[in-house]
């Protein structure tokens, strides 16, 4: 009965993760609660057997798990390097290579890959994106040529060390819980370095043919805003004469947004309280039908055909910018209208790229998701407010004076000390990371509030919530049962074949589930498979680590892919065309080399 129940709950969880009807962290907490409640019901009904289901204490044990605590501490270490400008300093060197596309791609991948071995890869992509886009603009390169290599490099770098990705830490904790011992900080490095080298060479070779060449550099053209912008002049008999935009429905910006009022040589940005005069020219964003209705209703007339470019919208005081919703943003799942963008930041949203579509009408109703890009217009002070909000990522390179650059050597030294202490086994990784986080706060590289804010609590909830699933799979006997069934289907007790099947299944599930959920689900099965075969479980554990953290085939399989999807102007098929062959190469190389580094 326990096996049937845990498999049923696992199936429901997989469906919820894949369907994305609820956020992944909420699904994880729902799964945790369900496992605890089922255990209590089995005890109440007298159907439970000792040791075959998790106890309530087991259900919440993820919150005290060393892997989860280490991930939280690593978020703080990453933030320390960000707030002191250490990551940005490395990224800005890329702009010097703008004239050499091949060298720029190589430098981007090597730098991002090496840094991602020790720092959260979403933080690395967030810091590198503005620098890479700036280098592309300076060298006249299409961002689509560089952003997929950037995302893939951070994934490949992340599997080079234990702390490079939360998945490695989670699998290490699962291994230790099973009595197999934890994984070493640099135990992943030999194979990880080989895969990083192969992936870099692959992307350098195929980029000319497989990576798209999109983007004119004109953001207005990229968002196809031309038909949605017009200049309308206020006639002498217009109903707007003597009135402010705030007094009319035009001030709400629901379907029609007035971006500027042009009065002679003056350009007034979003002037809600300015009384309009005859002859004023309104720069308006609206759909074709709403535009015609506005002209007829308010007594406006088109001035001329507007050839819309970035330069037309920008001026001495106004700037266009693309703003990304990063992982962990509080705005995820919120409607744009709820944010009250104009009053909060002093900037107007002109269009939104959400998943595979560009939205130019009904913007207030658009629900934001991770990776969505907003095209905004506003004065420089508005862009500074946007840059200061951790819930948004402005994709324009800028020298941020708020960074504590004088603390950069200290922050780098602290993080290097953490790596050294853990690498030499002088301290457990968790202890070294926590001490490093405390040292960053004590040395004022980062404030305590910034340290708390740096922790992505959604990832922490996801890790803690999925942790009891692995325990339930083990205690119920489901993991052993699945392993026996898989070996029976394979037809022979061949560890190489079992390893290949496990790697392929992990890589496939990672494209649709979170990498951490996949690792929790498959690590107990991997260990049970090895036990059934009578071989060392280590090769199977490592296969789960490498397969779960290298998701190249879809833009939704890994957060870094989602982050570069819109800034690169990619289509879904671009990831399939470039990423699927790389996944197959990694599959073949990993299955061939894992038993060499970790023998059966």
> 347 in a domain, yes or no?
no
Among 264, 288, 307, which residue terminates a domain?
Answer: 307
CA neighbours closer than 13 Å in the CB half-sphere of residue 171: 38
Integer Cα distance of 523 and 542 in angstroms: 9
Among 307, 335, 354, which residue terminates a domain?
Answer: 307
| pTM (whole model) above 0.85 | no
- Based on the fold, state whether residues 176 and 134 are members of the same structural domain: yes
- Based on the fold, state whether residues 57 and 102 are members of the same structural domain: no
- Based on the fold, state whether residues 74 and 185 are members of the same structural domain: yes
> 580 in a domain, yes or no?
yes
- Based on the fold, state whether residues 452 and 483 are members of the same structural domain: no
User: Strand pairing of 393-394 and 348-354?
Assistant: unpaired
Integer Cα distance of 77 and 98 in angstroms: 30
User: Strand pairing of 281-286 and 266-269?
Assistant: unpaired
> 143 in a domain, yes or no?
yes
Helix (H) or strand (E) holding 318: strand 318-324
- Based on the fold, state whether residues 57 and 71 are members of the same structural domain: no
> 100 in a domain, yes or no?
yes
Integer Cα distance of 230 and 256 in angstroms: 11
Among 415, 432, 457, which residue terminates a domain?
Answer: 457
Find, among 210, 221, 217, 211, the residue nearest to 136 by Cα.
Answer: 217
Sign of CA dihedral 512, 516, 520, 523: positive
Question: 416 CB contacts (<8 Å, ≥6 apart)?
Answer: none
- Based on the fold, state whether residues 167 and 114 are members of the same structural domain: yes
Contact 525, 543 (CB under 8 A): no
Integer Cα distance of 113 and 119 in angstroms: 10
- Based on the fold, state whether residues 552 and 448 are members of the same structural domain: no
Would you mind telling me the total number of residues written for the chain in this entry? 600
- Based on the fold, state whether residues 19 and 55 are members of the same structural domain: yes
- Based on the fold, state whether residues 230 and 155 are members of the same structural domain: no
- Based on the fold, state whether residues 540 and 580 are members of the same structural domain: yes
Contact 317, 379 (CB under 8 A): yes
- In this structure, what CATH number is given to the domain that contains residue 289? 3.30.70.1450
Question: How many structural domains is the chain composed of?
Answer: 3
The per-residue pLDDT string of the chain (600 residues; one tens digit each, 9 = 90 and over) reads: 777 888 888 888 888 887 778 888 899 899 999 989 988 887 777 776 666 777 888 888 889 888 899 989 989 998 888 888 777 777 777 777 878 888 888 999 999 999 999 888 888 888 888 888 888 877 778 888 899 999 999 999 999 999 888 899 989 998 988 888 889 889 999 999 999 999 999 999 987 888 888 655 567 777 777 777 888 888 888 888 888 888 888 777 667 888 888 887 787 887 778 888 888 888 888 877 888 888 888 888 887 656 667 776 776 677 888 888 888 788 888 888 888 787 888 888 888 887 667 887 777 788 888 888 888 888 888 888 888 788 888 887 655 545 677 888 899 899 999 989 988 888 988 999 999 999 999 999 989 998 998 888 888 998 898 888 888 888 787 777 777 776 676 656 688 888 998 999 899 888 877 788 888 888 988 998 888 888 999 999 999 999 998 889 888 778 888 888 888 888 888 999 999 999 999 999 999 999 999 998
Write out the residue range of the structural domain in which residue 480 sits: 2-63+458-597
- Based on the fold, state whether residues 71 and 192 are members of the same structural domain: yes
- Based on the fold, state whether residues 87 and 180 are members of the same structural domain: yes
């Amino acid at each position: 009965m326990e096996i049937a129940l845990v498999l049923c709950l696992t199936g429901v969880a997989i469906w919820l993760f894949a369907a994305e009807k609820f956020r992944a962290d909420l699904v994880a907490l729902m799964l945790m609660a369900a496992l605890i409640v089922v255990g209590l019901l089995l005890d109440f009904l007298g159907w439970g057997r000792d040791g075959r289901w998790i106890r309530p204490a087991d259900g919440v044990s993820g919150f005290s798990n060393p892997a989860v605590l280490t991930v939280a501490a690593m978020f703080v270490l990453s933030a320390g390097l960000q707030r002191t400008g250490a990551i940005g300093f490395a990224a800005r060197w890329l702009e010097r290579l703008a004239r050499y596309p091949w060298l720029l791609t190589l430098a981007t991948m090597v730098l991002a890959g090496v840094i991602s071995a020790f720092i959260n890869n979403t933080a690395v992509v967030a810091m590198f994106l503005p620098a890479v886009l700036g280098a592309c603009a300076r060298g006249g390169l299409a961002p689509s040529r560089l952003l997929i290599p950037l995302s893939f490099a951070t994934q490949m770098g992340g599997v080079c060390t234990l702390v490079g990705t939360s998945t490695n830490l989670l699998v290490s904790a699962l291994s230790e819980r099973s009595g197999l011992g934890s994984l070493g900080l640099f135990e992943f490095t030999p194979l990880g370095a080989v895969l990083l080298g192969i992936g870099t060479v692959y992307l350098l070779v195929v980029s000319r043919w497989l990576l798209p060449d999109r983007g004119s550099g004109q953001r207005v053209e990229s968002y196809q805003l031309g038909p949605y912008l017009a200049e309308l002049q206020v006639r002498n008999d217009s109903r707007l004469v003597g009135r402010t935009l705030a007094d009319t429905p035009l001030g709400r910006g629901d379907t029609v947004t007035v971006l500027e009022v042009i009065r002679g040589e003056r350009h007034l940005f979003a002037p809600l309280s300015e009384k309009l005069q005859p002859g004023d020219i309104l720069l308006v964003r609206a759909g074709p039908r709403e535009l015609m209705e506005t002209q007829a209703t308010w007594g406006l007339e088109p001035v001329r055909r507007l050839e819309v470019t970035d330069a037309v919208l920008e001026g001495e005081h106004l700037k266009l910018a693309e703003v990304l919703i990063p992982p962990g943003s509080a705005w995820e799942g919120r409607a744009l209208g709820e944010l009250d963008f104009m009053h909060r930041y002093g900037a107007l949203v002109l269009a939104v790229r959400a998943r595979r579509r560009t939205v130019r009408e009904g913007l207030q109703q658009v629900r934001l998701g991770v990776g969505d890009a907003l095209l905004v217009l506003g004065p420089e002070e508005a862009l500074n407010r946007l840059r200061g909000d951790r819930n948004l990522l402005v994709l324009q390179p800028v020298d941020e004076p708020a960074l504590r650059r004088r603390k950069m050597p200290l922050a780098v030294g602290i993080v290097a000390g953490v790596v050294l202490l853990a690498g030499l086994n002088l301290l457990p990784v968790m202890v070294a990371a926590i001490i490093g986080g405390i040292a960053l706060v004590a040395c004022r590289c980062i404030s305590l509030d910034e340290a708390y804010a740096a922790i992505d609590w959604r990832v922490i909830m996801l890790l803690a919530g999925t942790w009891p699933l692995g325990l339930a799979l083990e205690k119920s006997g489901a993991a052993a049962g699945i392993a026996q069934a898989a070996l029976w289907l394979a037809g022979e007790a061949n560890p190489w074949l079992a390893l290949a099947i496990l790697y392929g299944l992990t890589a496939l599930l990672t494209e649709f589930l979170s990498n951490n959920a996949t690792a929790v689900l498959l690590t107990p099965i991997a260990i049970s498979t090895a036990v059934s075969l009578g071989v060392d479980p280590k090769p199977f554990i490592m296969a789960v680590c490498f397969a779960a953290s290298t998701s190249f085939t879809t833009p939704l399989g890994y957060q870094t892919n989602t982050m570069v999807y819109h800034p690169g102007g990619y289509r879904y098929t671009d990831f399939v065309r470039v990423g699927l062959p790389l996944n197959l190469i990694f599959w073949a190389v990993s299955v061939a080399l894992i038993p060499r580094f970790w023998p059966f």
